[in-house]
Amino acid sequence: MKRLLYLSLFFNILALGAAGFAVYRLGGVKYAFIRLQRTTDGLYHHRAQHFEHLPERLGSIIFLGDSQTEQGEWHELFPDGPVVLNRGISGDYSEGLLERLPEILRHKPLKIFLLIGVNDLAFGNSVPEIELVYRAIVQKIRTESPDTELYLQSVLPVNNDVRRVGVQNAKVLELNVRLAQIARDYALPFLDIATLLKDADGNLAAKFTEDGLHLNGLGYVVWKKEIERFALVQNSK
């Protein structure tokens, strides 16, 4: 009897260990939930709905993307000039961003700084799939707000040594090659933020992150310095 009890206890511990390792491989409880559910319910929709009920700010500069954009205090980083709107939403991915473009374009933005894609990779979407949706995003912006200056930004690398994010930098690099091509196809600026934030091994440098995915204050300083010459130049159209 005791032997069966010990065996049961052993296998339960083994199962818990395997489950814990699986969650770790997915990047922790939060990211495991996102990847397994493939949903952006709750906070995502609260934030998206909040945006829809805010007043129009015509001619604003919009930072558009996922949590990496959301966590930047862009209105403080760029306090002078046009109104700056943060339209980053944690957990967003390319199709979600495409769906919420009407709220973005109602402002007839002066400029849009776009960064999206890392969550697509975490969800297991292929690079060609992401590229297809990304082209639809660019085309919709160009068609419905032709005077908006659109800046494509490279997807940022991750650091799986700091914490297992569940995304490989080889895929990030592959996606950025495709995004750079989209920029060339549409004659758009491509801002390579990723290279400035990498270490010698091609990872997001540990000095710029606490969790392997999101940027700390130093990281946003680097990002800001790279794009400020574009954000501060007035639209000549």
Query: What pTM was computed for the model?
Result: 0.82
Tell me: the pLDDT tens digits for 44-53? Answer: 889 999 999 9
Long-range contacts, stretch 23-27, CB < 8 angstroms, 24+ apart: 24/164, 25/164, 25/166, 26/164, 26/166, 27/122, 27/163, 27/164, 27/165, 27/166, 27/212, 27/213
> Per-residue pLDDT for 107 more than 90?
yes
Count the alpha carbons within 13 Å of 31 in the hemisphere toward its beta carbon. 24
The confidence score (pLDDT) of residue 44 equals: 86
**Annotated domain spans of the chain:** 1-37, 39-231
Mean pLDDT of the chain: 88
Say if residue 22's pLDDT is above 50.
no
Task: Look at the domain 39-231 and name its fold.
Answer: Rossmann fold (3.40.50)
**Tokens 């758009």 found at:** 188
